Structure 1
Amino acid sequence: MGVHSETLDVAALREDFPVLDREFDGTPLVYLDNAATSQTPKRVVESITDYYYRYNANVHRGIHSLSQEASIAYEEAHDTVGEFVGTDRREEIVFTKNTTESMNTVAYAWGLNELGPGDEVVLTEMEHHASLVTWQQIARRTGAECKYIPITDDGYLDMEAARDLITDDTEMVSVVHASNTLGTVNPVRELADIAHDHGSYIFVDGAQSVPHQPVDVKAMDCDFFAFSGHKMCGPTGVGVLYGKEHLLEEMDPYLYGGMMISKVTFEDSSWHELPWKFEAGTPPIAQGIALAEACDYLDDVGMERVHRHSTDLARYAHEELTASDDVEVYGPPADDRGPLVAFNVDGVHAHDLSSIVNDYGVAIRAGDHCTQPLHDVLGATASARASFYLYNTREEVDALVDAVDEARQLFA
Structure 2
Amino acid sequence: MFWVVAAASAVVLGVAATLAVVFWPKYPALAFQPLADPSRVAPAVPITSRFAAATVRGDRAYFASVSDDGTLGVVAADTGTGERLWGNPAAGDADDWQQLVALPDAVVAVSAEDDDRRRMVLLDPGSGKPLWDRVIGDDDTLLYAEDTVVLVDREEDRLLGLDVRGQGRVRWELKDPGSLSGSRTTTVLAATTPEDLAAPTSAKGAPFAEPLDDDRRIVQIGADRSARVIDARTGAVLVPPRQSVADPDDPVVAHDGTLVVAESDNARRIVAYDLAKLGEPRVLYTAPDDNTRFEHLTPCGTDRVCAVQTTSSDAKTAQVVAVDVAEGGRRWAWPLPDTNNLVPVGDSLLAAQNTTPAKVSLLGADGTVRWTRDGVAARLDGGNLLRFAKPLSTYTDDPSVAGEHLGDDAVELGPLSGVRPATCAWNTAVLACVADEDFVLRRFAG
TM class by shorter-chain length? under 0.3
Structure showing the higher strand proportion among its residues: 2
Flag the structure with larger Rg: 2
Q: Which has the higher contact order (CA 8 A, sep 6+)?
A: 1
- TM norm structure 1: 0.24
- TM norm structure 2: 0.23
